[in-house]
Copies of this chain bind each other. A is one copy, B any other.
Amino acid sequence: MKDLHAVSWLNGKVRLLDQTKLPEELILLEISDYRHIVSSIKNLVVRGAPAIGIAAAFGVVLSVWNADESDRAEFLTRVNTAIDELKGTRPTAKNLFWALEKMRNTLSRNLSRPLRHVKEAMLKEAQAILQDDIDRCRRIGDLGQELLPLRATVLTHCNAGALATGGHGTALGIIRSAIEKGKKIKVFADETRPLLQGARLTTFELLEDDIDVTLITDNTAAFAMKKGLIDIVVVGADRIARNGDVANKVGTYGLSILAKEHKIPFVVAAPLSTFDREIENGDEIPIEERDANEVRFFGSTQAAPEDVPVYNPAFDVTPHNFISAIVTEKGIVRFPNAEKLAALLK
């Protein structure tokens, strides 16, 4: 994955790797209109909580990149409209709101300066959010790899990899760092219905890096655990409440129950930008419900009767007492709770 980035900035344009087309087609989109960033986040061209935040930050930059540098009112209208539209793309991932808040603060701090400098400051901030995320993932990986034995098979769900972040990944960052340290790591990847981020993205990026990966259906996780094939579960997160409850891709909660039943450690990896300090527990996390046709169809293939009612929440919430450890760039919190996390976030 050295040369593939989910999001990057190139000469006034945002480059997105189209993740809806992987692994069949490797398409790089060059985007100069922030509204295409809005639609790309909605349609999952770019996905993964940290990567969404990064893409949104660059979206804000795009909204004014070619703006008239003499019209301050128009400039502000453009930025505020873009921030509002980007905020409305997806409700669950905290990193989106965190990144947009950082961009708004940068704007405020620089507002008295010439607009050309404001643009530059905003680009610098977006680039810092990107570079920062890569550094944070590296740190998460280096800290978190200590949780993996010298030889281990790790089960992961969805994609919390380089494709979901600035690079390296959170859950997959831990795996990459462990391998860099010489550990013998195998990965089982849940395919992660309905949109198969595990099958399409996690296996793709692990195969690119020559990491030993086996694909399973989500239904197979429990049996694989029972057969002793899994040593540890490591997943990412879309939002973490003050008490350590974790919203992540639907299926994560079930997996945490299976891990508990089989006495397998269940680890969550996420940067601090994923923490929502304003909510006490997971019940307050808004859960996005997505289109029924994500379940009724797969690509162009019909999977169910056209008119069948569907319940399609994109995320679920894993209570903190099902979690063995949360790995952040600032440290590992074992058996997380409100008190321990308050100390970490201080």
Q: Which of A171-222 contact B (CB under 8 A)?
A: 188, 191-194, 196, 199-200, 203-204, 207, 213-222
In the complex, which residues 34-76 of chain A have their Cβ closer than 8 Å to any Cβ of chain B?
A: none
A32 to B310, CA, bound (A): 40
Please choose the segment from A12-20, A129-137, A247-255 that sits at the chain B interface, where 4 or more of its residues have CB less than 8 A away: A247-255
Are B204 and A311 interface neighbours, CB within 8 A? no
Contact B296 A299 (CB under 8 A): no
A312 CB-CB contact with B under 8 Å: yes
B298 touching A301, Cβ below 8 Å: yes
CA distance A194 to B191 in the complex (A): 10
Give the interface size bracket for A toward B. Answer: 35 or more
A284 CB-CB contact with B under 8 Å: no
Does any Cβ of B come within 8 Å of A263's Cβ?
Answer: no
Name the residue of chain B whose CB is nearest to the CB of A298: B298
CB contacts (< 8 Å) of A216 on chain B: these are 295, 310-312
Complex Cα spacing A223 to B285, Å = 14
The residues in A between 272 and 314 inclusive whose CB is less than 8 angstroms from any CB of B are 295-296, 298-305, 307-313
Tell me the residues in window 144-179 of chain A with beta carbons closer than 8 Å to chain B beta carbons.
none
Apart from A215-B310, A257-B258, list 13 A-B contacts with CB within 8 A.
A23-B302, A207-B307, A214-B308, A217-B250, A217-B295, A217-B312, A219-B254, A220-B316, A221-B254, A223-B254, A254-B258, A298-B298, A301-B301
A-B contact pairs, 9 of them (CB 8 A): A23-B302, A194-B219, A200-B303, A203-B305, A214-B309, A215-B310, A216-B311, A298-B303, A301-B301
Interface residues of chain A, those whose CB is within 8 Å of chain B, are: 23-24, 188, 191-194, 196, 199-200, 203-204, 207, 213-224, 226, 229, 249-251, 253-254, 257-258, 260-261, 295-296, 298-305, 307-313, 316-317
